[in-house]
Every structure is written in C-alpha cells, then in structure tokens.
A and B are shown apart, each in its own frame.
Chain A
Amino acid sequence: MGPAFEPAARMRRYRIGAGQGFYGDSPGAALDMARHGEVSAIAFDALSELTLAILQKDRQRDPSLGYTRDLGAWMKRLLPIALDRRIALITNAGGLNPEGAAEVVRKAADGRPLRVATVHGDNLTERLGTLAVPLDHAVTGAAFGEVSDRVVFAAAYLGAGPLVEALSRGADVVVTGRVADSALFLAPLVHALGWAWDDWDRLAAGTVVGHLLECSGQACGGNFSGDWASVPEPWHLGYPLAEVSEDGVVVIGKPPGSGGRVTAETVSEQLLYEVQDPTRYVCPDVCVDFTDVGLRDLGDNRVEVEGTRGAARPELLKVVIGYSDGWMGEGRVGYCWPHALKKARRAEEILRHRLEMVGCKPRDILVEFQGYDSLQPPRSEPDEVYLRVAVRTETRAEAEAMTREMPYLALNGPPGLGGYGGVTPPRELLGIWPTLVPREIVERDVHVEVT
C-alpha cells in the first residue's frame, strides 16, 4: 500500500458494543457481543425512570438492595469472557446502591482478581432538602411544593467524567447509578481516543454512538417499522456495536452470525428515537445537533454516521424526581361474537354500578376495549373484545376494592364471556418530576471508588 494510507492506518480506532437495553433484558446478545463482537468495552443500560422506583422499593424493604437483581447472574456468565479478553464492562445497574452492586460483581468473579469501580453522587433522594435550589418542574414550571411530601427517589443524570476516571484508574468493571444513558458509551471513547472535554463535535459523535446503542436491539431491526417481517432471525437479534475512530468517524454494525439487520433505515429509527429537539439534544457533556447527520449504507450490516455537530455542555444538569401518585387497580374480561362490543359495554355499566354500590370512588377511571380501541382510535367492530378497566385511587385498599368487583361479571353479566384473566395486583403509580440543578451543586458530591 502507498503512503496515502498511512495516516488512516495510524488513526486510533475503538470498538464498543451494547449489552443491555433495559432491566429484564436477556443476556444472550451480550455474551454474543463478548465472544464475537471484537469489542474493547460493552456498556449496559439497565435503568429507566420507572426502574429507579422499583429499585427504591427494593431498598426500602432491604437496605442491601437497590441495584438490578439480575446483575449477579449476568456477570457470572460475562466475566470469564470479559476478563480473558480484557473487555471493560460498564453498567448503570448500580441503581440506587452502586456499592451493593459492586459487591455482587466481585462475588460473581469467583475469586478471579478484578478491579471494580463505583460512581457515587447521583442519588439525591436523601439530599434534596439540602440543595437549596427551587426544583421547579422543567417542562411546566410548576412549584416543587406540589409533590415535595410524596418523593420516592431523586437522581441526577451525571455525565461521562467520573466513568472516564474509573477507566483510567484501571477498572475492569464500572458500576454506576443514574448517569445519562449515552455517557455509559461515551466514557470509554473519551478514555481510549483521548478526546478533550471541549471537543464538542467529537463528544457529540460519541454521544450519538451512545444514543444508537443504548436501546440495544432497536438499532438492529428490533421494533423496525419498515419491512419488519423480513428482519432475519429475530430470535437471536444481534445488539449494535460501533467502530469509532479518533477523528469521530462512526460505523455501526453488529456481531457476525447474529440475527437482525443494520441498514440506514433501521439505524435512522433509533437515531431520532426519543429526541425532542433534534437541533439541541441536551446531554451532561455536550449538546448534540442532529440537523446535518447523515447515514450511509456500507453493506454487510454496516452503516456510517457522519455530520454530527456539538455545542457546549449545559450548565444545568437534569434531575428526575419520582413521586408517589396513587395506586392502580386493573381488571380484564373478554366477550365474543355476536355483539362483542355491546356486551363489553354492558359489562362496563354493571361494573360502574357495583363500584358505586360499594362506595369505591376512584380519582380516575379508564375503560378500554382491547382489540378495538386500547392502542389506537377505533375503526371496525371486532368479533371479540376485552373490557379492560383501570382505576387510579388514593390507597391500595381502594384499588383492591375495585378489583374485587370484577369476578361478579363471571355469572351475572352478559353472555359469551371468556378469557377471564382475573385481576392484576394493585401497583403504586409514580409521577415523574424533571427539574434542572446547577452542575456544580451536583458535582461537588460526585466521587469514584476503585477496589
């Protein structure tokens, strides 16, 4: 090869893979990534807004919990491969108790030496009162006093900084709580490729990598709205990986031999997914501008991403506060042709009378006819339909009172009832209160421990 190729050959490149898209995901694709992805790091996104509420409830029952409970099982299978191949594992599975999660990781290593880092300071649940900032709602501007007596958890979205520190201190596994999902992926790129913290275009490119990888299979044909029926072998869908060069050029792919499809079409759907302002997607380390991002099919399940631009990071960090917002009771029963919908409506009427008779007064009641109008506005009448009733109540007992009236329909209502699935146990509903807090107030308590 001529000298023209030399600079490219010297250009540092880094490969990173996605291992998990949510708490409850299955570990097969992560193992596949470790074995066949030829990656130097795998990042795992286990947290959603709802997940933190689940973890907080675990922790209230048992203070040693508060992390995702499948972490040990995942690590037991992943660590032998990752440690042999020197693949860094980066996960936010620490939830509200990163130290407890780190202990689980150490146990899962089965005596093999490893360095586990934990990131602390995102969990503001106990410190909200000491922050001395207004905590107004970031979207509506409402005053925090509306919900301040019902707080379940509070967490700040940290950036990649502490994760980069963990990696540079030699961590094999980095366990965090709430950090921006994309920061899990951006951190190893910054660490390995030496990007500066004010190199906004590259930080933006790395953030786009995170955005494309954080929902696991969704970049590779999962939930694909195009020709979904022809997505190859979706029963072992490959999770996405990215090859990133020092200058910020990104190619998305997936492990060889896995199912799924990586094309400009499948990647474009994930690129814009849950982005509310494509000109300014605010993350802790950079604001990303998607306006001129282009995708190019390279063939063989590879797509190049170019044109990402970045602007200076925000001075305010997002904090999400979860607050208790009542209880949900839910019941469901099916009716068949003829007049399926009429029967279900009659059943609804019976149920509403019964609720009145027992003095159950929900704050809200939602009636849906599944198979007819529950997922989209209705069009044509179906031959069978499920009546679903969901109520929002102040207390668990009221939610239970509603569900106790569902069985009444079994022998006393319209004919042609089937698929009586009973009722689901009442569950607590959670309001989400997003707010913004000056970065320095959050960051003064952020620290990294490596053991």
Chain B
Amino acid sequence: MTRPLAELARARSGDKGDIVDISLFAADEPTYELLRAHVTAQRVRAHFADRVRGEVTRWELPRLRALKFVLQGALDGGASRSLRSDNLGKCFGPALLRMEIEV
C-alpha cells in the first residue's frame, strides 16, 4: 500500500537565489529508513517537474533523521524577480508531502 509523506514526515522549505531547499524529517528510525529508500532525488525531481528546471541533490543527516533536497532552477529566477505567488518557495515543503510512497 502507499501513504502520503504528509502522514509520515515534516517538511520546511526555503530559498536562496534560484534555489529551493527542502528539509524532510522523520519522527522515528523505521520511518527515516522508509524515506531514505523511497524519496530519492529522481523522484523529487519528477514530483516538481512542472516548476523545477535544474538538478535535484539529496543529502542525508541521520542524526537529525532528516533528508535535505536542493532544487536548482526552482524559483522562476529567484524571489526578487519571480512572478509567482509563492516567490519565496515556502510551499515546496508542503507540496513534497503530497508524494505517495510504498509502505
């Protein structure tokens, strides 16, 4: 079966220039292992295909049970030139939580 990340994790996103970064946190070890296995950089890239032009990089921070995703070319050129309502990329974190993964 699949479950949305919203039921498994927390996420906060921020911006710098044209880059959006998303931190994804699991509440416990088994959940963190699930995230590590299923929430790959490729899947995140595909999840945001409509608004991210560049590469997606993933970092692992096991002590914090966190994954960090760095999305290049994600902000319509950056907060101060973007035409978007979400010009600061704050809604990317919640948007990631819509992803469904196998559990």
- A residues sitting closer than 8 Å to B (CB atoms) are 49-50, 53, 139, 223, 225-226, 265, 268-269, 271-279, 290-295, 307, 322, 325-326, 328, 330, 364, 366, 368, 370, 374-377, 388, 390-392, 429-432, 434
A273-B14 in contact (CB<8A): yes
Point out the residues of chain B lying under 8 angstroms from A49, CB to CB: 17, 78-80
Q: How far is the CA of A219 from the CA of B33 in the complex (A)?
A: 26
Majority SS at the chain A contact face = mixed
Point out the residues of chain B lying under 8 angstroms from A391, CB to CB: 83
**Segment 7-60 of B: residues with Cβ below 8 Å from A:** 10-12, 14-19, 21, 23, 25, 50, 59
A375-B80 in contact (CB<8A): no
Q: Which residue of B lies closest to A225 (CB)?
A: B10
- Per CB-CB distance, the 4 closest pairs between chain A and chain B, nearest first, are A274-B14, A390-B83, A366-B83, A430-B80
Residue B3 is within 8 A (CB to CB) of chain A in the complex? no
Point out the residues of chain B lying under 8 angstroms from A139, CB to CB: 17-19, 72
Point out the residues of chain B lying under 8 angstroms from A291, CB to CB: 61
Point out the residues of chain A lying under 8 angstroms from B17, CB to CB: 49, 139, 432, 434
B21-A275 in contact (CB<8A): yes
Q: Can you name 15 extra interface pairs (CB under 8 A) apart from A139-B17, A275-B68, A291-B61?
A: A53-B80, A139-B72, A268-B25, A272-B12, A272-B61, A276-B70, A277-B59, A278-B68, A290-B61, A377-B50, A392-B81, A431-B78, A431-B80, A432-B17, A432-B78
20 A-B pairs in the complex with CB atoms less than 8 angstroms apart: A49-B78, A139-B17, A223-B12, A271-B64, A272-B23, A272-B68, A273-B14, A274-B14, A275-B21, A294-B64, A326-B81, A366-B83, A370-B85, A374-B85, A376-B94, A376-B95, A377-B95, A429-B81, A431-B81, A432-B80
Partner of B80, one of A278, A376, A429: A429
Point out the residues of chain B lying under 8 angstroms from A277, CB to CB: 59, 70
Name, among B14, B19, B68, B72, the residue most crowded by chain A CB atoms within 10 Å (CB to CB): B14
Q: Which residue of A lies closest to B10 (CB)?
A: A225
Q: Which residue of A lies closest to B64 (CB)?
A: A268
Q: How far is the CA of A272 from the CA of B67 in the complex (A)?
A: 10
- B residues sitting closer than 8 Å to A (CB atoms) are 10-12, 14-19, 21, 23, 25, 50, 59, 61, 63-64, 66, 68, 70, 72, 76-81, 83-86, 90-91, 93-95, 98
Point out the residues of chain A lying under 8 angstroms from B91, CB to CB: 375-376
A375-B86 in contact (CB<8A): yes
CB distance from A320 to the nearest CB of B (A): 9
B12-A273 in contact (CB<8A): yes
Q: A376-B91, A376-B95 are in contact. Are A368 and B78 (CB under 8 A)?
A: no
Name, among A49, A269, A322, the residue most crowded by chain B CB atoms within 10 Å (CB to CB): A269
Q: Which residue of B lies closest to A367 (CB)?
A: B83
B79-A50 in contact (CB<8A): yes
CB distance from B18 to the nearest CB of A (A): 8
B25-A276 in contact (CB<8A): no
Q: Which residue of B lies closest to A51 (CB)?
A: B80
Q: How far is the CA of A139 from the CA of B73 in the complex (A)?
A: 10
CB distance from A49 to the nearest CB of B (A): 6
A375-B85 in contact (CB<8A): yes
CB distance from A334 to the nearest CB of B (A): 14
Q: Which residue of B lies closest to A379 (CB)?
A: B98
